[in-house]
Structure 1
Amino acid sequence: MAYARNNLLKGILLSATILGASPAWAQNSDVDARLDRLEALVNGLIERLDAKEANQGATASGDAEVAREAQRTLQASRRLAERTARVEQKVAEQAAVTQKITEQTDAADGFNVGKTRVTYGGYVKLDVITERTSGGQVPSGSIARDFLIPGAIPVGGEASGFDTDFSARQTRFFLKTETDVGDDHKIGSHIELDFMVTSGGDERISNSFAPRVRQAYITFDNWLFGQTWSTFQDVAALPEAMDFIGPTPGTVFDRQPMIRYTKGGFQIALEQPETTITTPAGARIVAGDDSLPDIVVRYNHQGDFGHLTAAAIGRILRVNEDDFGLIDDSSFGYGISLSGKLNVGERDDFKFMATAGEGLGRYIGLNIVNDAAVRADGSLTPIATYSGFAAYRHFWSEKWRSTISGSYFKADNPVLLTTGLVTDQSWNIFGNLVYSPVAPLDIGIEYMFAKRQIEDGTSGNLQKVQMSAKYKF
């Protein structure tokens, strides 16, 4: 009997210890009830053993002591269970807070649609532009009043007054997706719209403009299919400007459909071909007879210093007599471009680009000159061009910064084939001051001076003051 009683008491002690120490059981709603039943059982045993102790001596006394030990263990187990429950409650509360923070972060980064993650961004921008041209009036509603187009600066005419335009059409929106397809593959897309260089409203009533596709492409692992910035252009080298582009005469600037492969810093792309030609009368022909894509190879090197980019392009310029009578020829165009961003001090930077080649016309400065000219026999001669820019950005403080920039373009036109009315050279300088009261908001003012000279020596300039407010989201 004594042996059985001891085993029973040992079982009670073991049960109490397990119930009190187990974190999983401490969260169970019936733990207290189990401890209550065990405690009642021990109390009953103690009462009976105390009664026997007077009659049976030491044996009953020993049993009673074991029962009291069980009672003490139960009490300790109850305290342990209560502490464990409080710890588990705190852990659960912290997990809930963490989950809420995660959900808020996820919401800020986008949202899920099935297996697809969708993110978005862009900016809203207001521009107030006051400009004057020395060589003629730029018509109201012309895109040449929205941003600098070097080839459209008037020459040889009467100076205009200062014309002022308000516009929000540079506002931009993009949508990105990433879909989980498993098997270690990555697939995504990018669609981007703005309202520049499109038809639509007027300045009298609605000031509304139709949206246009800026970029639309698919990415699959290292591949890109669709329309984006030309691989020949280093977008990251463009300086901060209130103008739509800024150092326009000296920069490569082109978006077009392509197939691109990227491996580390190396890129190779097959891009949309398009040949622009200057006729002996000085007119521009967009041939549309191209049969082979433009080929671009590029290498990007990044480090703590900033980044450097080298790119080369090869093109087949082509025009067919089916469209333009006696003009039927093809020629080879090529070019190289070096660009980059160099960090200066803690926050300042220096950006630059230098580009040279033959048959690059439509890639430079918004097609300042054409790719080629037509000889008398109908054959093509590529036009050589040289261009570049440099820009320095300085941070006066965390909220104030400025950029100064200068750019230059020069064409080696075969004047006997193009006449003296095509652009020989163009350059511009600008400086700005930008204030960011909070990180997503920029408020800036910029002064720009630009000049264009044609082959016969006639020139014209543009002076522009631009104020902008831009909210990035």
Structure 2
Amino acid sequence: MIRHKLFGLRVSTLTLACLVALPGIAMADEAREQALEQRINDLEKQLQNLAAEIRAQREAAPPAAPALPAGKLPIQLTTLTPGSPAGTTVKIGGFIKADFMATKAHDGQLADAAVGRILYVPGQTPVGGDSSDVDYDAHAKFSRFNIGIDNVSESGDKAGAFLEMDFFGNALGNQTSTNTYGVTVRHAYAYWNNWLAGQTWSNFMDTAALPDSVDFIGPTDGVIFVRQAQIRYTTGGFSASLENPETTVIPNGGGGAAASDRGAVPDLTLRYGWKGNWGSFGIGALFRSLDIDRAATSSAAAISDSEGGYAFTVGGKWNLGSNDDLRYQVTAGDGMSRYIGLGVTGDAALSADGNLDAIGGFAGYLAWRHVFSSQLRMNLIYARSQYDNPIDLTGTAVNESVQSFRANIFYSPMPKLDVGIELMRAKRELESGVDGSLTRLQFTTKYSF
């Protein structure tokens, strides 16, 4: 009996102890749960803060550009042409060029408004007169700016456009006060893969062979120099184009060549070029239809005639080492004068009965370029063209030949900045044997962008 009571007492005591301990256990579990919930809340706040920082960084910085192959420049990340397809890029360029020149005509005088006062025009060299005083001219009208638009589609098709302008337009002011000139279009064309349409350099011209000169053109007497509207197809080194036709005609008996904007056949040009570490070389051909079509007047009968014209050219650049190169071009044909030297003579002469006679000739230049250092270089340039005028139709007062020699030196104190000085001696001779010469010292500054 006593044992049972003792056992019951022990059970009761243990039960009482458990009952007393249960609230403490429950309180301890509740504290741990509260601490865990607090840690979870703290972690959620930290995650929210981190997410906010990531969003802010993404909004503040543009997306990283994709990796590019070695040697490739990155494209623009944001288009400047929102109306264009995705991936369109824009390039803006040009230069500011100022020219200062002192000119002496030894056998006459250049007129005040002559184009030959601002750049060398072979056909304007005065002949058969008295020597003039030195004339000083300065201008910045050959400064230019351009914009290019290019796009490559997902399928690999290439398209784009190019527009370039300078300030060689007619004077809108005068040299007394404003020296204002109009903006003129140099290039304006669009392209799609192998095709080009618009105004740019003639396909007959080799721009890669042009030498470095202070004058606007340089070897003007013997160089092909034409910009005009055309449709061109290019594949590899070969290109062909149909270009705007224009015929210059010397009146019967002589006089200045007059333009005849007639004819239904565009000028056809063909060119093939090669390039390598040795330099470049190209051959070209020009085929033309020379046309005149004038209605009868009270003093002259109607005139309508056509004559074929053609020319062939070779030229390029030959690297003589790391510091020297030769640039050259030779052109010959009939009825090609409009393409040479800013029109030294006419493409054709007009007979008394209204027929055209194409004028033959040849032209060319040779230029040596030497680089002293990355900042200093020099050029020696000789250019000439000569024509076989039918003097029974043109008379003897037309240009037989023009030529010039020039030496220049350029200093580039920093990239894109050129300072140059050039001395030129030029000569023009008529079919009569009368001639004239011109000397010009020209200084230029040019900053490209």
Structure 1 length-normalised TM? 0.77
Residue identity (%): 37
2:176 corresponding residue in structure 1: 204
2:312 corresponding residue in structure 1: 336
- Structure 1 residue 110 displacement after superposition: 9.7
Question: What is the one-letter code of the residue matched to 1:315?
Answer: R
Deviates more, 1:191-200 or 1:435-444: 191-200
Q: Deviations over 1:313-353 (max 9, x none)?
A: 10010111427734321010000010101112113211000
1:156 corresponding residue in structure 2: 128
2:258 corresponding residue in structure 1: 285
Give yes or no for the alignment of 1:234 onto 2:206: yes
Q: Does the CA contact (< 8 Å) of 2:260 and 2:291 recur in 1?
A: yes
Distance in 2 (alpha carbons) for counterparts of 1:109 and 1:456 = 65
Give yes or no for the alignment of 1:305 onto 2:278: yes
Q: Deviations over 1:396-436 (max 9, x none)?
A: 11111000010111000000100111000010000001000
- Structure 1 residue 225 displacement after superposition: 0.2
Structure 2 length-normalised TM? 0.81
Q: Does the CA contact (< 8 Å) of 2:65 and 2:74 recur in 1?
A: no
Give yes or no for the alignment of 1:141 onto 2:113: yes
Q: Aligned in 2, Cα 1:182/1:448: closer, same or farther, shift over 3 Å?
A: same
Q: Aligned in 2, Cα 1:399/1:291: closer, same or farther, shift over 3 Å?
A: same
- Structure 1 residue 100 displacement after superposition: 8.9
The structure where helix makes up a greater share of residues is 1
Give yes or no for the alignment of 1:191 onto 2:159: no
Q: Does the CA contact (< 8 Å) of 2:76 and 2:89 recur in 1?
A: no
- Structure 1 residue 109 displacement after superposition: 11
Question: What is the one-letter code of the residue matched to 1:310?
Answer: I
Give the count of matched residue pairs.
Answer: 387
Deviates more, 1:115-124 or 1:436-445: 115-124
Which one of the candidate residues 83, 100, 105 is aligned to 1:128? Answer: 100
Distance in 1 (alpha carbons) for counterparts of 2:278 and 2:150 = 31
Distance in 2 (alpha carbons) for counterparts of 1:349 and 1:168 = 30
- Structure 1 residue 199 displacement after superposition: 2.5
Distance in 2 (alpha carbons) for counterparts of 1:165 and 1:372 = 34
Q: Does the CA contact (< 8 Å) of 1:110 and 1:119 recur in 2?
A: no
Stretches of structure 1 lacking an aligned partner (at least 5 in a row) = 1-32, 38-84
Which one of the candidate residues 336, 359, 367 is aligned to 2:335? Answer: 359
Give yes or no for the alignment of 1:417 onto 2:397: no
- Structure 1 residue 186 displacement after superposition: 1.3
1:61 corresponding residue in structure 2: none
Distance in 1 (alpha carbons) for counterparts of 2:133 and 2:416 = 35
Distance in 2 (alpha carbons) for counterparts of 1:272 and 1:311 = 17
Q: Secondary structure at the match of 1:436?
A: strand
Give the aligned CA root-mean-square deviation in angstroms: 2.7
Q: Secondary structure at the match of 1:365?
A: coil
Q: Does the CA contact (< 8 Å) of 2:323 and 2:372 recur in 1?
A: no
- Structure 1 residue 164 displacement after superposition: 0.6
Q: Secondary structure at the match of 2:393?
A: helix
Q: Deviations over 1:373-397 (max 9, x none)?
A: 1122211110001110000110111
Q: Deviations over 1:262-288 (max 9, x none)?
A: 000000000000111111232322111
Stretches of structure 2 lacking an aligned partner (at least 5 in a row) = 1-38, 44-49, 68-72
- Structure 1 residue 256 displacement after superposition: 0.4
2:185 corresponding residue in structure 1: 213
Q: Does the CA contact (< 8 Å) of 2:194 and 2:235 recur in 1?
A: yes
Distance in 2 (alpha carbons) for counterparts of 1:108 and 1:203 = 43
- Structure 1 residue 111 displacement after superposition: 5.3
Question: What is the one-letter code of the residue matched to 1:308?
Answer: F
Distance in 1 (alpha carbons) for counterparts of 2:432 and 2:233 = 44
Q: Does the CA contact (< 8 Å) of 1:298 and 1:312 recur in 2?
A: yes
Question: What is the one-letter code of the residue matched to 1:305?
Answer: W
Question: What is the one-letter code of the residue matched to 1:420?
Answer: T
Q: Aligned in 2, Cα 1:437/1:111: closer, same or farther, shift over 3 Å?
A: farther
1:470 corresponding residue in structure 2: 446
